Amino acid sequence: MAPILKPDLCVIGGGSGGLTTAAAAAAFGVKVVLIERGKMGGDCLNYGCVPSKALISAGKHVAAIREAGRFGIRVGEPEIDFAAVKDHVRGVIAAIEPNDSVERFESLGVTVIQADASFVDEKTVSAGGRIVEARRYVVAVGSSPLVPPIEGLAETPYFTNETIFELRERPDHLVVVGGGPIGIEMAQAHRRLGSRVTVLEGGSFLSRDDPELTAIVLGRLREEGVQLRDKAKVVGVTRGENGPRITIETGGSPETIDASHLLVAVGRAPNVAGLGLDAAGVDYDAKGIKVGPDLRSSNRRVYAVGDIAGGPQFTHVANYQAGLVLRPILFRLPVRERRDHLPHVTFTDPELGQVGPTEAEAKAAGDLHDVLRWPYGENDRAQAERHTSGLIKLVLGRKGRVIGAGVVGMAAGEITNMLSLVVGKKMSVADLRDFVSPYPTLSEIGKRAATVYYRPYTEKPFVRRLVGLLARFG
């Protein structure tokens, strides 16, 4: 029988949150065991953020070629080798893989076990025939694509975000079920790469974001030829002659849509099955492991980070939570997770970013005092780049504090970085007004939006009289 491993920390899951936790703990000389049953790097590297952004980048190059005439450059319609595009995607993954590899983590002093992990009791885990008794555990096993109970779907070939990147033939007509970020991103990328694309959404597209901002994204997709069908409930799927046949209801008679390929992108479900959470005394439900503000579960030995912790399902959130749990585990410091400053970005073209509450959310909570806007069209860099479709919105609370912000347009994801700092540090419009932005940059729109707050003061009679009075003193 293999000896029992007794590390200070055992991390279950080799995705973004788990790897961050393991690497940081090992850097302090802590004995760490990392258990991963699948590919190192998890969903983000292999099926999510990395391959999707690589595919989106290919689509952006196609769009740039088609739009080159606006800059006085004459080119023809680009020829797209879809299999070569997928080689590009695979190459990007391969370039990043060494950072997340077993070899790298073993070089850091981490003991890596490549097997399924399951709690045997409240303080013991079994994995690959080995027993681990750690002082603390961090569960970071992520989530998997949610497959809705649509009649006939199980008997019909379909893709999820975990399988769509294996497809090497260009879809003639890709039908996407789900109008969230994943569905919308993949729809635009495949359309730009030459596929006909239809997106079916039972509710509203990009429903977590500000409708004023999402309208700009959806307008661009429609201009590019993506068919967007909202309030379209998928009630059945069958095999047609040339691919899946999807039946939808939109309030009237049922309608059928023939596709060559079907992508299901309706969300993700936490990977709670098979972990032995009951044996460990860890409370959980369909949303994941139940944790407190310190990310600790009902078993005081066990923490959870990332998708399995039931919060926002983003790689950067998993990394943020990993940084939090290390403080009590390594230094006995108290922590409390905040979610009011967590940003998210949809990487369409134009990009769409949000941090903090939207205008509607702030109003519903009774926190809304003002909203400031500034259009991309009034930004000189946007004019030079010919990307003038966009808008920033600053959501203000009391005394001009920026409690939320949304931006849609070119490089909105990068601008969201600054907005995340502003919201997270509880800054005001005065802070945005006073920072010096290099010219010409797109980030100037945040500063310009902040100055709108002071525009009413220029019309106040008292202020004008004061300026006039002061002018008399030379």
Neighbours of 167 (CB within 10 A): 16
- Burial (Cβ within 10 Å: 0-12, 13-18, ≥19) of residue 47: buried
Question: Would you say 166 is a known binding-site residue?
Answer: no
Calculate the CA dihedral of residues 263, 264, 268, 273 and round it to 10 degrees: -100
**Residues 6 or more apart whose Cβ sits within 8 Å of residue 171:** 190, 195, 259, 260, 261
Asked if 356 and 339 touch (Cβ cutoff 8 Å), the reply is no
Calculate the CA dihedral of residues 465, 470, 472, 474 and round it to 10 degrees: -150
Question: Would you say 413 is a known binding-site residue?
Answer: no
Asked if 388 and 394 touch (Cβ cutoff 8 Å), the reply is no
Question: Would you say 267 is a known binding-site residue?
Answer: yes
Question: Would you say 378 is a known binding-site residue?
Answer: no
Question: Would you say 178 is a known binding-site residue?
Answer: yes
* Distance between start and end Cα atoms, the chain: 92
Question: Would you say 201 is a known binding-site residue?
Answer: yes
- Closest by CA to 420, choosing from 350, 338, 348, is 338
- Closest by CA to 247, choosing from 236, 263, 259, 232, is 236
- Closest by CA to 447, choosing from 424, 431, 459, is 431
Q: How far apart are CA 200 and CA 187, in angstroms?
A: 11
Calculate the CA dihedral of residues 110, 115, 120, 125 and round it to 10 degrees: 0
Tokens of 344: 């998210």
Asked if 392 and 374 touch (Cβ cutoff 8 Å), the reply is yes
Question: Would you say 179 is a known binding-site residue?
Answer: yes
Question: Would you say 307 is a known binding-site residue?
Answer: yes
DSSP 8-state code for residue 159: B
Coil, strand or helix at 107: helix
Question: Would you say 251 is a known binding-site residue?
Answer: no
- Closest by CA to 12, choosing from 117, 159, 155, 94, is 117
Question: Would you say 283 is a known binding-site residue?
Answer: no
Question: Would you say 162 is a known binding-site residue?
Answer: no
Q: How far apart are CA 358 and CA 280, in angstroms?
A: 39
Distances (CA, A) of 58 to 25, 45, 358: 37, 17, 31
Question: Would you say 59 is a known binding-site residue?
Answer: no
Q: How far apart are CA 33 and CA 269, in angstroms?
A: 26
**Residues 6 or more apart whose Cβ sits within 8 Å of residue 357:** 340, 365, 367, 395, 403, 404
Query: Which residues fall in the annotated binding site?
Result: 53, 178-185, 201, 267, 307
Query: Which residues fall in the annotated binding site for FAD?
Result: 53, 307
Query: Which residues fall in the annotated binding site for NAD(+)?
Result: 178-185, 201, 267
